Amino acid sequence: MNTLWIVLVVVALLVVWVVVSYNRLVSRRNEVDNAWSQIDVQLKRRLDLIPNLVETVKGYAAFEKSALEAVINARSMAMSAGPGPAAQGAADIGLTGALRQLFALSEAYPDLKANTNFLSLQEELQNTESRVAFARQFYNDAVERYNNATQSFPGLIFAKSFNFADREYLEVEAAAAIPPSVKF
């Protein structure tokens, strides 16, 4: 009879351990998904601000079409980029470069630098860039925790059994990680 109780206790402990381990993996996966959605929100916010910035600049720099077209094209590419971190990261690099060009263009137009709409939009974009950078860091931290949980023992057993695939980090070139800035 004592042997039966010992076996039942061991089985119960194993069941609890399996449930806790599985729930931990689900929690980590959801944390990664949430972190990615935060990046997505900030990227969409930035994409929404860009048309207003372009329209403001158009009035002052009508003949500087190449810089405006670069921003418009980069925005279109970012909007049509795939859902994964690699595709979004590549689109983000192009958009950041185009925005840098646009902000550099403002140096040639003193009236543009003094325009309150331009200054307000520039500040909003810079704030958004800071939020994107923070969200990227949070995402990569969540991916690290998740991948550690799925690649280390005993999580490795459950990850393989329940199809928990590793997630990829969002990597951005060093130059693209710096928010665009203009000094007046």
Task: Name the pLDDT band for 52 (thresholds 50, 70, 90).
Answer: confident
Please provide the average confidence, as pLDDT, over all residues in the chain: 80
The torsion of the CA quartet 62, 65, 71, 77, rounded to 10 degrees, works out to 130
What tokens were used for 120?
Answer: 């307000």
Mean pLDDT computed over 145-161: 88
> How far apart are the C-alpha atoms of 100 and 143, rounded to whole Å?
29
| Dihedral pair phi/psi, residue 166, rounded to 5° | -65, 155
Quick one: pLDDT at residue 169? 87
Q: How confident is the model at residue 182 (pLDDT cuts 50, 70, 90)?
A: very low
pLDDT at site 155: 85
Q: What percent of the chain has pLDDT over 90?
A: 20
Beta strands in the chain (DSSP E): none
Dihedral sign, CA of 44, 134, 85, 158? negative
**Residue range 49-56: mean pLDDT, rounded:** 78
What is the pLDDT at residue 175? 45
Question: What gap in Å lies between CA 91 and CA 171, rounded to an integer?
Answer: 12
Residues 6 or more apart whose CB falls under 8 angstroms from that of 90 comprise 81
Question: What number is the average pLDDT over the span 80-94?
Answer: 78
Tell me which residue has tokens 């331009």: 118
- Cα separation, 103 vs 61, in Å, equals 12
0.85 exceeded by pTM: no
Measured between alpha carbons, how far is residue 29 from residues 22, 59, 135, 152 in Å?
Answer: 11, 47, 16, 15
Contacts 24+ apart (CB under 8 A), 33-36: 34/142, 35/135, 35/138, 35/139, 35/141, 35/142, 35/143, 36/85, 36/139
Task: Determine the pLDDT at residue 183.
Answer: 41
Query: Mean pLDDT across the stretch 91-101?
Result: 79
**Which top CATH class is 37-177?**
mainly alpha
User: Does residue 177 carry a pLDDT above 50?
Assistant: no
64 confidence band (pLDDT: 50, 70, 90): low
Q: Which two tokens stand for residue 80?
A: 């049509």
Q: Bigger pLDDT: 77 or 150?
A: 150
H/E element, 75 = helix 65-80
Longest Cα–Cα distance in the chain? 91
In tens, the pLDDT along 131-151 reads 888 888 999 999 999 999 999
Q: Is the pLDDT of residue 67 over 80?
A: no
Alpha carbons 91 and 78: distance in angstroms, whole number: 5
What is the model's pLDDT at position 41? 86
77 versus 27: which is more confidently predicted?
Answer: 27
